[in-house]
Structure 1
Amino acid sequence: MASVWFVFFLPLLCVGVRAQPEKAKLISLNSSLSPKYGSPMGWASPSGLFAFGFYPQGSGFSVGIWLVGTDENTVVWTANRDDPPASANAKLYFTEDGKLLLQTEEGSEISITDGSGPAVAASMLDSGSFVLYDQNLSVIWNSFSYPTDTLLGGQNLDSNKKMVSSESRSNHSSGWFFLAMQGDGNLVSYPVNSSGESDDSYWSSGTSSASRLNFYSTQLSLNTEGALYLSSGMSSLIIQTFRNSSNPSKNKTTIYRATFDPDGIFRLYSHRFENNGSSNESIVWSSLSDQCDVKGFCGFNSYCSNPGAKAECHCLPGFAFNNPSEKIRGCSRIFNGDDCSKMNNQLISYNITTLENTGWGDYPYYKKSMKMEECSKFCLDDCNCGAALYRNGSCYKYKLPVRYGRINRNETATALLKGHLQRVKSAYRPPPAPMNTEVKIDGKKTLILVLSLSLGSIAFLCLVIAISSFWVYRHQVWSYRQLSEEVNLGSTEEFTLQSFSYDELEKATDGFREELGRGCYGAVYKGTIERDNKVVAVKRLEKVVEQGEKEFQAEMTAIGQTHHRNLVRLLGFCIEGSKKLLVYEFMRNGSLADLLFNAEKRSIWKVRVRIALELARGILYLHEECESQIVHCDIKPQNILMDDAWTAKISDFGFSKLLMPNQEGIVTGIRGTAGYSAPEWHKNTLISVKADIYSFGVVLLEIVCCRRSIEVKVSTADEIILSSWVYGCLVARELDKLVGDEQVEFKSLERMVKVGLWCVQDDPALRPSMKNVILMLEGTVDIPFPPSPTPL
């Protein structure tokens, strides 16, 4: 880390060195851009050094700001960076009502400047900031206030804000690391899926609240002269200063940018532009010199080495890269089966491979003083041990996956790794079959008889299959015709949202008399729509953001466009002033909570397994298959309803944008329901679909055990927290305790328990995706032994 100096009144010196006011080129209303050949792709700044508009990304185009004249037109800002690239038929409109919208080829409109009021003009400034003006030509929105991975001269990163690295040099969607300007005055780098606590950080400015900066809100700043510093009130801390020793040349223009690069290292760059059009890029300063110092540079079950200028990632012995082109995604074992299994009357064993000067960043679950040979055997005999470290006469055992692995000459530990699967034949041999010497059959006659019987059987089987297929086909055609006669499949009312009046819904629910339930969004009432005599559930929304009718209708349309057999279907809505109501299909069999916790006896095991899979498929649709990704934020048994056929359907999805502002929104504050909310809700970390994975894991364990995740009235204290009790039973091989006297299929029980424990890991990076959850529940892929859900 570069040395840091404490300086008073530096903002008066550094910030005072500014360029003269720019003669900005105003962009008028009704202007547009398009990536099509022959159309303008961007709006340039007065100097021509910066441009705003479409730039190529992957097979499409993204909207952002780039530095013109560099080798690859260096991108410094991207709008909606995690949206998929637009096609060449997309357009960027500065509309007549003062909004900047991206219109995709499919016809949807995406706002580029969310939260800004109506503008009358826009401009791309020479500073690299794109701004919108109101009628008084006052700036009402600017890109400098929303940095992605880069700061330019005159731009700040305020306290409690983050910069997230890009995925790669050519892909500017959110990457694997973030740089946080913490409230205590410390600038810190973390892996993006970490807890955001000190154990996961790998670089810091060392400017915590112990310095004088704690008297004010601290911010990271870069000025136009190349000074990168932390400022607070009237005092500053220089991180890096770079200036020319000679007088600046009139034939040169220098632009500085501080970028949090895809490899997780914060760097300060200078770009020198000559009047003849040539340019020169150089690295002025770097927060780290060794890429292996970046925690998470290599993924799980791998280690980092730095033999030269660039670091390399290697899989642990017995592992292979999940994606060789993206090694940060880690490695998986190249064989199946767990450490304690027996397969086909063969014992599975492992060899131990050693790596010198190797370590990683996880905590061991066991430590004991012993010799290295004993440590190897100690790990081999332990089913939970995936790897061990031998350091200073002590053996440290770890569960898989291990993370933050690296080879370092200063590391005194030796890594002991399980690998090179061997199968040793069992000593047991079945006794030889007795010989019958009296029976002798002619070989040719036997062969002819076997072939005749085989061919005859095959011919008969084919005939049966052909006849069966014909009758099944006829039955399906007849059923379809019957269905076509009874139901009008062409009716558009069945597949579009209906608009209801408040009086109509009040009458349908008999004055909101019969309450079915109540949640954080409001109460639900049973009703009957007179126009088609249909029984419905009417939700009267409470505590939602006050917004216009058009915005509310847009939200309802987005929810109404989600169609899946495991989602409760939205039929219509009502909006009259502050009165907002939603009309859903009616679920006659109540919720999963009633089935699990209030039923007189447990439902059949196979039914519960099916419900778990249906719930997983519904969440997968929300996360990956619907038009816009939906994070539910409140997966719990009360929000899983059962239809007439006892099919599980998820309700209350897509409501994150309707929450009251004091609930803080999707990124930092929605807590969900106690017992089901993921740990990251209570930390200052980004929320992703992995929060739903955690909630699903809690529900899955409740489905297995037919009890709540937290129970006080239990026989022993170990049973209070469900996940801890389940993990203890799995380790002790006593899973039968979870289901009592119930008859269950043991393999499916073990699968559901392991999947549930992987889903409730504190670290979001350890939780599987919902697609992998389904594959594991179906038994398509093997499930490794999970770590303890609550790390030591």
Structure 2
Amino acid sequence: MAMVSGLLLLMLSILIVEARTQPNQIGEIHLGSQLSPISNMHSWLSPSGHFAFGFYSQGNGFAVGIWMMGQPNNTVVWTANRDDEPVSINATIHLSEEGKLLLRTEQGNENLIADVSEVAASASMLDSGNFVLYNGSSVIWQSFDEYPTDTILVGQNLTYYYELVSSVSSSNHSSGRFLLEIQEDGNLVAYPTNSARLDVDTYWASHTTGDDQGLFSTLYLNHQGFLSLDTGYTKPVLLARSSYPCNNKTTIFRATLDADGIFRLYSHCLENKTSRSVHIEWSALNNTCKVRGFCDFNSYCSGMGTNADCSCYPGFAFNDPSEKFSGCYKNVTESFCTGTKEGKMYDVKAVENILFEPNPYSVLHVKKENCGLCCLEDCLCDVALYMNERCEKYTAPIRYGLKDINISSIAFFKVKAASPAAPPMSPTIIIESKKRIELIFTKSCQES
């Protein structure tokens, strides 16, 4: 009898250990649980099955993050260490027996996913999209409080010092080219990431400024789909609200700084666990070409709505023809200032209805027909812009290019001539008398 009781106790203890260490698909995640990209357990689901934490495919490997389940594609809302290289199929995620949430690579390196000094006793993927570590009943770490990536969900706040950074693309969730942040004055502002974050770099703002309001400001999204900015001093400013009726179906809202640089509010109407419809409730901008830096240096944006296209300026070529938004380079090797002989080998090409960052090194008051000549005669000049009876001279790199039929301007770009031009005519000397000699030039760049 004692032997039977001992066997029963041994079997019961084994079952308890197995129940504690095996990963649960739904509910509490116990110490010792792990995930693998190639196993059936590649993610931990929330109780409703709407969100998951684990491995998702990126590039030629896998990244670790949180996504909203959907068909045909899931929607990634948070990525851990997003700029790390993708890991191989042999990587694993562990909620270790020591209470650490970590990523173990194929090479055996262990990288913390949750950098927290306290020891976790369990974890959970919540229906809010928040992944949480617990010590007893206390939350010691949560993805909502960690650095956000490009998205905030209902119940998640964006505060001063934190920022949203767009993804590279819809399939690459590494840090992209645009950011959204709350400034010290309480203004919510969007910039290109490779800018100095000055006024000239701003392409969208909430206009909620006030003295030091940003230190207490919070961007938040509620269950009704209201996207608001609370400055801490006045009534919260409503930026956007949901207007699409989901007919009493479960609705999940998210606000995302998309890869094109536009901040948008989305609603996901859930038909069932595998079917849902996605709707854009609000866009900060309706024209992608209004995004500063959408087309990078030495290129300009044209098109309307989301149908934006990047083109090189005359005399420039794409850095990467497969990614036209990545900008252009000057396709001549010698300098315009090499010497007078080289200088005669160039011409100007005019492009109308174009605008770029207003940062000229020289401004002249000349007639339109002389503006291009002024650039041609100046070895430092790459382009001259004639607008509002001013001739502005610029040198490359040139950024924030925009072409729009509503812009009344003409730009003269210096390009290599198809064939070397004949030397300019020498000054004509006219002798009217012994006391007077006049030099008459055939062409000149002279201010009006």
- TM-score, normalised to structure 1, is 0.48
Change (3 A) 1:301 1:226: same
Q: Distance in 2 between matches of 1:342 and 1:366?
A: 21
| CA shift for structure 1 position 113 | 0.9
In 1, Cα distance between the equivalents of 2:215 and 2:318? Answer: 47
- Residue 407 of structure 2 is aligned to residue 411 of structure 1: yes
- Aligned residues of 2:33 and 2:95 also touching (Cα < 8 A): yes
Secondary structure, aligned partner of 1:375: helix
1:282-338 CA deviation, whole Å, 9 max, x = no partner?
100000000000000001110000156411000001211101122232101222111
1:384 aligns with 2:380: yes
Instruction: State the distance in 2 between where 1:292 and 1:85 align.
Output: 31
Contact 2:288 2:304 in 1 (8 A): no
Give the AA of the match of 1:267. Answer: R
Q: In 1, Cα distance between the equivalents of 2:354 and 2:412?
A: 9
Task: Quote the offset at 1:71 in angstroms.
Answer: 2.4
- Residues 201 and 166 from structure 1, CA distance in 2 versus in 1: closer, same or farther, beyond 3 angstroms? same
Which is bigger in relative contact order (C-alpha 8 A, separation at least 6)? 2
Q: 1:276/1:297 Cα in 2 relative to 1: closer, same or farther (>3 Å)? A: closer
Secondary structure at the counterpart of residue 269 of structure 1: strand
1:239 aligns to what? Answer: 239
Q: Which residue of 2 aligns with 1:323?
A: 320
Quickly say closer, same or farther: Cα 1:215–1:302, change in 2 above 3 A.
closer
Please tell me the residue identity of whatever aligns with 1:235. Answer: K
The residue that corresponds to 2:153 in the other structure is 152
- Name the amino acid aligned to 1:380: L
CA gap of 1:34–1:377, structure 2 versus 1, over 3 A, is same
Number of corresponding residues: 396
Q: SS of the residue aligned with 1:424?
A: coil
Q: Aligned in 2, Cα 1:161/1:230: closer, same or farther, shift over 3 Å?
A: same
Cα pair distance change 1:25/1:308, threshold 3 Å: closer
Q: In the TM superposition, what whole-angstrom CA distance separates every residue of 1:423-465 from its partner, at most 9, and x where no partner exists? A: 52888xxxxxxxxxxxxxxxxxxxxxxxxxxxxxxxxxxxxxx
Q: 1:64 to 1:195 in 2, by over 3 A?
A: same
Residue from 34, 37, 50 that aligns with 1:35: 37
- AA aligned to 1:338 is S
1:353 aligns with 2:349: yes
Identical aligned residues as a percent: 49
Deviation at 1:214, TM superposition (A): 3.3
**Letter of the 2:139 counterpart:** V
Amino acid across the alignment from 2:276: S
Alignment-derived partner of residue 303 in structure 2:
306
Amino acid at match of 2:75: T
User: Which structure has more helix as a fraction of its residues?
Assistant: 1
Tell me, in whole angstroms, the C-alpha distance in 1 between the residues paired with 2:419 and 2:49. Answer: 67
Kept in 2, the 8 Å contact 1:116–1:141? The answer is: no
SS at match of 2:420: strand
Q: Which residue of 2 aligns with 1:143?
A: 143
Query: Whole-Å Cα distance in 1 between the matches of residues 303 and 74 of structure 2?
Result: 30
Deviation at 1:35, TM superposition (A): 0.5
Partner residue of 2:97? 96
Where do 1:763-774 residues align within 5 Å?
A: none
Contact kept? 2:270, 2:277, Cα under 8 Å: yes
1:388–1:115 distance in 2 versus 1, CA, 3 Å: farther
Q: How does 1:704-715 map onto structure 2 within 5 Å?
A: none
Q: Is the 8 A contact 2:183 2:214 kept in 1?
A: no
d(CA) in 2 for partners of 1:348 and 1:90? 61
Query: Residues 637-684 of structure 1: CA distance to partner in whole angstroms, max 9, x if unpaired?
Result: xxxxxxxxxxxxxxxxxxxxxxxxxxxxxxxxxxxxxxxxxxxxxxxx
Give secondary structure in 2 for the equivalent of 1:172. Answer: coil
- Find the residue that maps to 2:294 and give its secondary structure: coil
Cα RMSD (Å) of the superposition? 2.1
Q: Tell me what 2:280 maps to.
A: 283
Q: What one-letter code is carried by the residue in structure 1 that aligns with 2:66?
A: I
1:274 paired with 2:271, answer: yes
1:199 aligned counterpart, secondary structure: helix
Task: Identify the match of residue 361 of structure 2 among 353, 365, 376.
Answer: 365
Q: 2:289 is matched by which residue type in structure 1?
A: C
Q: Which amino acid aligns with 1:312?
A: D
Asked if the contact 2:336/2:343 (under 8 Å) is kept, the reply is no
Would the aligned equivalents of 1:348 and 1:423 in 2 still touch at CA under 8 Å? no
Contact 1:389 1:413 in 2 (8 A): yes
Instruction: Decide which of 258, 261, 270 is 1:261's aligned counterpart.
Output: 258
Classify 1:108/1:418 alpha carbon distance in 2 versus 1 (closer, same or farther; 3 Å): same
The residue type equivalent to 2:294 in the other structure is F
Aligned counterpart, 1:175: 176
Structure 2: runs of 5+ lacking an equivalent: 1-25, 424-448
Could you give the per-residue CA deviations for residues 236-264 of structure 1, whole angstroms, max 9, x where no partner exists? 11001115668x52xx2110010000110
* Maintained 8 Å contact 1:303/1:314: yes
Distance 1:328 1:152, change over 3 A: same
Q: Which amino acid aligns with 2:229?
A: L
- How many angstroms apart in 1 are the aligned matches of 2:373 and 2:173? 47
Query: 1:404 is matched by which residue type in structure 2?
Result: Y
Write the distance in 2 (CA, Å) between the matches of 1:130 and 1:227.
Answer: 23
Report the CA distance shift for 1:29/1:274 in structure 2 as closer, same or farther (over 3 A). Answer: same
For structure 1, which runs of at least 5 residues remain unmatched after alignment? Answer: 1-23, 428-792
Question: Contact 2:55/2:65 (CA < 8 Å) preserved in 1?
Answer: yes
- Give the Å deviation of 1:401: 0.7
The Cα offsets for residues 561-594 of structure 1, whole Å up to 9 and x where unpaired, read as xxxxxxxxxxxxxxxxxxxxxxxxxxxxxxxxxx
State the one-letter code of the partner of 1:230.
L
CA separation of 1:32 and 1:161: change in aligned 2, threshold 3 A = same
Within the alignment, does 1:402 sit opposite 2:392 as a pair?
no
CA distance in 1 between partners of 2:214 and 2:58 (Å)? 43
Per the alignment, do residues 276 and 173 of structure 1 end up closer, same or farther by CA in structure 2, a change over 3 Å counting? Answer: closer
CA distance in 2, matches of 1:189, 1:78: 21
User: In the alignment, does 2:204 pair up with 1:208?
Assistant: no
The one-character-per-residue Cα deviations of 1:50-100 (angstroms, maximum 9, x if unpaired) are 000000001100000000024210100000000000000111111111111
| Contact in 2 for aligned 1:78/1:172 (Cα 8 Å) | yes
**TM-fit CA distance, 1:276:** 6.8
Q: After TM superposition, list the pairs within 5 Å mapping 1:647-662 onto structure 2.
A: none
Measure the CA separation in 2 of the matches of 1:311 and 1:131: 40
Q: CA deviation at 1:342?
A: 5.3
Written as runs of structure 1 = structure 2, the 5 A alignment for 1:37-76 is: 38-76=39-77
CA distance in 2, matches of 1:281, 1:346: 58
Distance change >3 Å, CA 416–CA 426, structure 1 → 2: closer
Query: What letter matches 1:383 in structure 2?
Result: C
Distance 1:195 1:215 in 2: 19
Q: Does the 8 Å contact 2:266/2:280 carry over to 1? A: yes
Task: Determine the structure 2 residue equivalent to 1:606.
Answer: none
Amino acid corresponding to residue 190 of structure 2 in structure 1: S
Distance in structure 1 (CA, Å) of the matches to 2:215 and 2:92: 44
Q: Secondary structure at the match of 1:144?
A: coil
The CA deviation string for residues 104-138 of structure 1, in whole angstroms up to 9 with x for no partner, is 11111111112352111100000000010013x21
1:223 is matched with 222
Indicate the SS of the match to 2:216. coil
Q: How many Å apart are 1:380 and its aligned residue?
A: 0.6
Q: Which has the higher strand share?
A: 2
Check whether the contact 2:186–2:214 (CA below 8 A) recurs between aligned residues.
no
Q: Distance in 1 between matches of 2:138 and 2:300?
A: 52
What amino acid is the match of 1:50? F
Q: How far does residue 373 in structure 1 lie from its aligned partner after superposition? A: 2.1
Change (3 A) 1:376 1:101: same
Q: CA deviation at 1:351?
A: 1.7
2: CA distance between counterparts of 1:189 and 1:126?
30
